[in-house]
Amino acid sequence: MNPESFRGWSMKLVIWSFLFPLLVLTGGQAELAEESLPSEYQLKAAYLFNFAKFVEWPPEAFPEPTAPFTIGILGEDPFDEDLERTVKGKAVAGRRLVIRHVKALAELKSCHIVFISRSESRKTGRWREIFKALGAACALTVSEADGFVEAGGMINFVTEGTRVRFQINDPAARRAGLKISSKLLNLAKKEEP
Amino acid sequence: MKPIPLNRGRRKSRWLTAGLSSASLSLAALTPIAQPDLTEVPIEALVQMQITTVARKAEKLSQSPAAVSVITQDDIRRSGATSIPEALRLAPGLDVARLDSSDWAISARGFNDVFANKLLVLQDGRSIYTPLFSGVFWDVQGAMMEDIDRIEVIRGPGAALWGANAVNGVINIISKSAKETQGTLITAGGGTEERGFAGIRYGDKLGDHAFFRVYGTYFNRDDSALADGQDANDSWQLGRWGFRVDWDVSDQNLLTLQGDAYRGAINQVFGAFDTNAPGFTRTDHDEFDPRGGNVLGRWTHTVSADSDLRLQLYYDRTERDTSIFKEKRDTFDADFQHRFPLGERQDLVWGTGFRLTSDKVGNTPTVSLNPDSRTTDLFSAFLQDEINLVPERLRFTAGSKLEHNDYTGWEIQPSGRVLWTPQDRHTLWASVSRAVRTPSRAEDDIILTSAVPTGLPFPFPPVAVATIYGNRQFDSEKLLAYEIGYRVQPHPKLSFDLAAFYNDYDDLRSLEQGPSPTQPAAPGVIPIHPENKLYGETYGAEAAATFEVTRWWRLQPAYTYLQMQLHKRPGSTDTTSELDEGKSPHHQFSLRSAMDLPHDLSLEGTVRYVDSLPALGIGSYLELNVRLGWRPTKNLELAIVGQNLLDSRHPEFSPSFINTQRTEVERGVYGKLSWKF
């Protein structure tokens, strides 16, 4: 290919690389909707909803029979609005789901699921402070950092390439009075030999 | 020099506008794509579900009172960059120009040169700039690109924390911990310019709390081209291998030990000074084997969430043996840092450092240093206090570095910064800082000789011999910098980062005629020596945006504007240094597009425009890189990458001081396979 025709060809490539998404967006939207992949945190939001479904909390975890089910986010919220959108209007075991952005560790005890964001996990020693603040509260601790379940956390998200899996520390959950269903336990990533 | 058609820049910028307007068109056409309700999906299916990686959140930078950007591993992979300099092109505000196959000129906010000396570059806490000329030998730097976690780029002075040489910017290359690189990774590929490359890394556990990795890489890069298309005989091969161990001794103590070694084979054509050669210049087709290595240990002790101690030691050796210059250098460095809160609202960091560097130079008639061996040391201490005046809203940071070096004695480099967050998605910052660039070994001690044609008729000699002599009275270059910045996220999918600066430089290096006050001139030569008789101002602005058009498509435009004004002091006999104004582009523009497509495909494209460099006779250019990746399984990825697609070849920079050829960057295509297991 001579340089001039190559230049013409590469110009077309530039134009197409910008036009192509435009065509897809305007022309092929219905098709694409099926193909489009969720983001990491949309998927994690769906997982959190499922954890609420497949874990059993003792009755004393709820101050009254109609009390809502609270998911607390500790640290910088990585979900943007995906978690709110996911649980909006949803209920688990007859309880309304609410999201709470936890500012002080003392608020943790009123949460049923505590999602500890990466921003918290970067501070060494922070997990221990969190677990101490939780004490014997019936809260499922979930994070997304290496070593979380080894340090005493209950569920940890692990991203494997383009998939999101999770690890479970069942003894820690049982100590807090939580019963994790066998379905969830079976799907969890097993300890590597 | 290749003539540059006058209309070239204009014609290309029309295409650029076409590309831009199609992007803004699609903005108008943008409607939210319906997402299936994932709560209805059975959990067994969630485990198998793939996620898009385009929209992955970057580290939060909005809380930094400086012009900072981060190049992530994902950015590097998507760009198809095969070297650290090529990856640095992804940072807004950096000026990266390729000189030949193995050399780059890299700077921020002006003063770019092959021997650019106002940028500090660190790799995992180890300084990789050489005190020889206060710049970086880019031809021996590198890493297994997949093991880089991120590259942090700070534009503007970072001297209060990092110390001398952090005048116009700091580049910090940070690799992944051994824990994050478990398993085996094999990469291999090749193409027209990237003739062949391969890498292998293996990571595993050492007991319950320790992890390690070992790696080896090799590449062979083709010659660049001369202006007439001939091979420039500057091919570049390099092998590098290394290891890293991370040991969580306890919850509070982390030990890291890492090391690398490299050996290269670089072809280069030098014009060497030789009184026996016609015109006193001999052409050397040299092949030299640079080699070196380093070992680094770091202990991190965590006292609490807000307090830690860090002690780091490293040893580094480099050897370079070209036909015109030979150098061996050993560096030993110790660095201590302590961070702790003071009361409710203050965060203090302080530290001390010591560095010893020792060289042994093999002198040639072209380049020599007098004395041929020198050992210098550097003591430094710094203190920085971050005060939260209004929690979450207003923060003031004050700090200073104090250091003692063997060239100029004591240097003080203070800085004050304020960060204001009036609303959650708006951040404003401003700073005033002082920084110095201390003299290099070359400025003190060099003897650099070249033959200059006189153009005079017989009986005058056809060539004159000019020699630059080092000057031990050469002082530090000084900078007073004023910066402001604004970051805003008007929409969750759209963010802007703007920074502007005014830099006031004094005592910049000038090249004066006449003998050096501290080195005797040889008889019959025209002596030249460095002094501090130049001053100047630079100002400019950098704007960058990230736009997540959809979950699977991200656009990142960036624009950099720069003005440099250099002036001679009265009495200066310098005739060349003011021309440095024309070695850094006034305008740079780039647009990156990253897409995750169906069928496990991803498509990335980058267009970049660089303004002309009148001092070097280099015209403006527009270039395009494209990468198409296919990841059929999570362990395997195939990619095809096209680099510099818009021209068969184009020049980006010219040599200075050392007589090498001016070469041009050629269009290249390569394929790559990455396999993880």
Model pLDDT for residues A110-156, shown as the tens digit of each residue: 899 999 988 787 676 788 889 988 888 889 999 998 889 888 899 99
Model pLDDT for residues B63-108, shown as the tens digit of each residue: 788 898 889 888 999 999 999 999 999 999 999 999 999 999 999 9
Could you tell me if B598 lies within 8 Å of chain A, comparing CB atoms? yes
Indicate which of B21, B44, B51 best probes the interface with A, i.e. most A CBs within 10 Å of its own CB: B51
Strand ranges, E, within B424-493: 426-437, 446-453, 463-469, 477-491
Residues 319-378, chain B: which have Cβ within 8 Å of A?
A: none
Range from A54-63, A94-103, B109-118, B297-306 carrying the lowest mean pLDDT: B297-306
Nearest-CA distance A177 → chain B (Å)? 23
Phi, psi of B235 (to 5 degrees): -60, 160
Give the pLDDT band of residue B422 (cuts 50, 70, 90).
Answer: confident
Contact A124 B251 (CB under 8 A): yes
How many CA atoms, within 13 angstroms, populate the side-chain half-sphere of residue A152?
A: 14
Please report the number of interchain residue pairs, chain A to chain B, with beta-carbon separation below 8 angstroms.
165
Residue among B396, B445, B385, B438 nearest B421 (CA): B396
Average pLDDT estimate for B379-408: 89
ipTM (interface pTM): 0.77
> What residues of chain B lie within 8 A of the CB of A13, using their CB?
605, 624, 626, 645
pLDDT at residue B372 greater than cutoff 60: yes
Bridge partners of B321, per DSSP, are B326
> What residues of chain B lie within 8 A of the CB of A35, using their CB?
598
Give the pLDDT band of residue B14 (cuts 50, 70, 90).
Answer: very low
> What residues of chain B lie within 8 A of the CB of A83, using their CB?
none
Residue among B449, B448, B415 nearest B434 (CA): B415
Query: For all residues of chain B together, what is the average pLDDT?
Result: 87
pLDDT reported for residue A127: 87
Contact B46 A50 (CB under 8 A): yes
Contact B50 A162 (CB under 8 A): yes
Task: Look at the pTM and tell me if it is higher than 0.80.
Answer: no
Model pLDDT for residues B439-452, shown as the tens digit of each residue: 999 999 999 998 88
* Alpha helices for chain A (secondary structure H): 3-27, 29-35, 40-54, 82-87, 118-121, 126-134, 170-175, 182-187
pLDDT reported for residue B17: 30
Instruction: Tell which wins on pLDDT, A148 or B55.
Output: A148
Average pLDDT estimate for B186-190: 95
Could you tell me if A105 lies within 8 Å of chain B, comparing CB atoms? no
pLDDT reported for residue B152: 87
pLDDT at residue B22 greater than cutoff 60: no
pLDDT reported for residue B346: 87
**B405 touches B412 (CB < 8 A):** no
pLDDT reported for residue B27: 27
Model pLDDT for residues B201-219, shown as the tens digit of each residue: 999 999 888 999 999 999 9
Residue B333, both tokens: 């460095």
pLDDT reported for residue B544: 94
- Counting residues of chain B whose pLDDT is more than 70, the rounded percentage is 92
Contact B595 A90 (CB under 8 A): no
Residues 135-164, chain A: which have Cβ within 8 Å of B?
A: 146-147, 151, 159-164
Range from B2-16, B41-55, B116-130 carrying the lowest mean pLDDT: B2-16
pLDDT reported for residue A8: 59
Indicate which of B11, B16, B21, B49 best probes the interface with A, i.e. most A CBs within 10 Å of its own CB: B49
Could you tell me if B256 lies within 8 Å of chain A, comparing CB atoms? no
Range from B31-35, B147-151, B500-504 carrying the lowest mean pLDDT: B31-35
> What residues of chain B lie within 8 A of the CB of A18, using their CB?
19, 22-23, 26, 593
Instruction: Tell which wins on pLDDT, B622 or B283.
Output: B622
Could you tell me if A167 lies within 8 Å of chain B, comparing CB atoms? no
Average pLDDT estimate for B648-653: 93
SS3 at position B544: strand
Contacts of B54 (CB under 8 A, 6+ apart): B548, B551, B552, B553, B554, B594, B595, B596
pLDDT reported for residue B455: 79
Bridge partners of B202, per DSSP, are B184, B214
Contact B626 A119 (CB under 8 A): no
Model pLDDT for residues B502-535, shown as the tens digit of each residue: 999 999 999 999 999 999 998 889 999 999 999 9
Strand ranges, E, within B424-580: 426-437, 446-453, 463-469, 477-491, 494-513, 526-550, 553-568
Average pLDDT estimate for B6-31: 30
pLDDT reported for residue A21: 47
Contacts of A63 (CB under 8 A, 6+ apart): none
Model pLDDT for residues B451-487, shown as the tens digit of each residue: 888 878 888 888 889 899 999 999 999 999 999 999 9
Average pLDDT estimate for B350-365: 92
> What residues of chain A lie within 8 A of the CB of B44, using their CB?
187
Model pLDDT for residues A13-56, shown as the tens digit of each residue: 555 554 544 444 443 333 333 335 677 888 999 999 999 999 99
Task: Name the range with the highest mean pLDDT among A2-11, A23-32, A122-131, B278-287.
Answer: B278-287
Model pLDDT for residues A75-96, shown as the tens digit of each residue: 888 887 788 888 888 888 889 9
Pairing of strands A140-143, A155-160: parallel
The angle subtended at Cα B204 by Cα B220 and Cα B634, nearest 5°, is 70
Could you tell me if A38 lies within 8 Å of chain B, comparing CB atoms? yes
pLDDT reported for residue A11: 55
pLDDT reported for residue B38: 83
Contact A13 B22 (CB under 8 A): no
Average pLDDT estimate for B305-333: 91
Average pLDDT estimate for B221-240: 91
Q: CA of B14: which chain A residue's CA is closest?
A: A11
Instruction: Tell which wins on pLDDT, B304 or A145.
Output: A145
Nearest-CA distance A117 → chain B (Å)? 13
Phi, psi of B446 (to 5 degrees): -75, 155
Could you tell me if A56 lies within 8 Å of chain B, comparing CB atoms? no
Model pLDDT for residues B564-597, shown as the tens digit of each residue: 999 999 999 998 888 999 999 999 999 999 998 8
pLDDT reported for residue B499: 95
CA distance B415 to B167: 12
Which of A10, A43, A81 is nearest residue B38 as measured by Cβ atoms? A43
Give the pLDDT band of residue A193 (cuts 50, 70, 90).
Answer: very low
